[in-house]
Structure formats: C-alpha cells, structure tokens
A and B are shown apart, each in its own frame.
Chain A
Amino acid sequence: DGGITQSPKYLFRKEGQNVTLSCEQNLNHDAMYWYRQDPGQGLRLIYYSQIVNDFQKGDIAEGYSVSREKKESFPLTVTSAQKNPTAFYLCASSIGVSGGDYEQYFGPGTRLTVT
C-alpha cells in the first residue's frame, strides 16, 4: 500500500522537552510538508521540503526544526522554544512543488499534547 505514515498517533510531553514527530512516505514524492491544525483555523504551514537535503520555513516555523536526509522521511522536531505546541500535526507530500503536480496527500496526523 502506498501512502504517508505518521507516528505516533498520540504523543504526550512535559513542557521544556523537545519531541520529534515521524513522517514517512512511499509514494516517491519529492516534496513534503508539515502543517499544524488548531481548532477553528485552517492548516498552517510549518516547513516544507522540495528535495532531499533542502527545506524551507513556512509561515510558522519558529520553535520547530526539520531534516530531510532521505526522500522518504521528513521528521519534525517541536522544540521547547515553541510557545503553544499542543496541536494536531499533519504531514503531507506531493509529486513536486511546481509544474502542475500540485495535489497534496496527507498522513493520518499526530496529536501532540504538552503539559
């Protein structure tokens, strides 16, 4: 089965701890994205990557970091610098970023709760 997997589904952390969310895809997509979803708001872009070893900040990158060492994997680290980390985090991928291959496929999400 092709798709995007995120793990874990639920994650609990204490304030002040860094936490890494996993995202893996076997769709052979070049582009990957991380979004944050909060109640009553549209998805907001945290980071995106167009190709291996390259990534760019999105609209709300502060307090987050990413890496893209492999095409299939795009982990997101939520650092202690993120003021309001509790949210639903969604990973997505697309064939590319430009040239008409727009459609984004989403993973199942990770619900992060920081107390």
Chain B
Amino acid sequence: GESVGLHLPTLSVQEGDNSIINCAYSNSASDYFIWYKQESGKGPQFIIDIRSNMDKRQGQRVTVLLNKTVKHLSLQIAATQPGDSAVYFCAENYGGTYKYIFGTGTRLKVLA
C-alpha cells in the first residue's frame, strides 16, 4: 500500500463506538474547511465541509464542529464501522482562492 500514512497519529476505536478526529488549522482568516478521507493507495474523498459562519454541520453519520476562537476543527463519526478505517485530514481555505492548506492527517483504525 501507499506509504503516505507513515508516522501519523493514530486513533483506534472499537467498532460501533463514536470517533472524534481533531485538526488545528493555521490561518485565523480561513473561511472554508473540508474534511477528507483517504484510504490506502487512493485519492482523498470529500466527507463534509463547513463555512466559517457556522459552528456545526451534520452529514450522514458525520458531524463537523468549528471553533474559531481556538482555530480548531473536529470530525465526529457516529457508530464507527470497519469501512471507516482510513487517514482523515482537514483542509482550510481563505477567500475562495486556489490556496488550500492541508493538515497531515490522523489514521483511524477500527477494531472489530
């Protein structure tokens, strides 16, 4: 498989439990944020996004929370499943430009 996941922080979660993955973003002026999921050897997949005028956004089994005060983003996955095992990373954007800043990611391992 790909080596991009080496040396990443790992979160191990029991199947069926909830997962919380965190991201500290860098630019206090960033106004758009995305969470991506990347499985081994594959390209990143969009999971959910949030704009800076929101604190929380929910999708199917996922919730993103944004705390602008401390520049923190979190991804909550409900009832974690084996298929959720992957590397998750956040991306931030300012002003709708081409420039995205990507986090290094967290590896999620789901234990059966």
Contacts and interface: CB of A to CB of B under 8 A. Distances in A.
A102 B4 contact: no
Contact of A48 (B34, B36, B98, B105): B98
B96 interface: yes
Given A39-B4, A102-B93, A90 B44 contact: yes
B98 A50 contact: yes
- The B contact surface, by secondary structure, is loop
Contacts, number: 73
Contacts of A31: 98
Interface of A: 4, 6, 31, 33, 35, 37-43, 45, 48, 50, 56, 88, 90, 97-109, 111
Given A102-B93, A104-B46, 19 more contacts: A37-B4, A38-B4, A39-B4, A40-B104, A43-B91, A43-B100, A45-B98, A45-B100, A48-B98, A50-B98, A97-B97, A97-B98, A98-B96, A103-B46, A106-B36, A106-B43, A106-B44, A108-B42, A111-B41
Contacts of B96: 97-102
A68 B99 CA distance: 19
Contacts of A100: 96
Contacts of B102: 35, 42-43
Interface stretch (B5-13, B14-22, B55-63, B72-80): B5-13
Most buried by B among A33, A98, A106, A108: A106
Contacts of B91: 43, 104
7 contacts: A4-B43, A40-B6, A40-B8, A50-B98, A97-B97, A103-B34, A111-B41
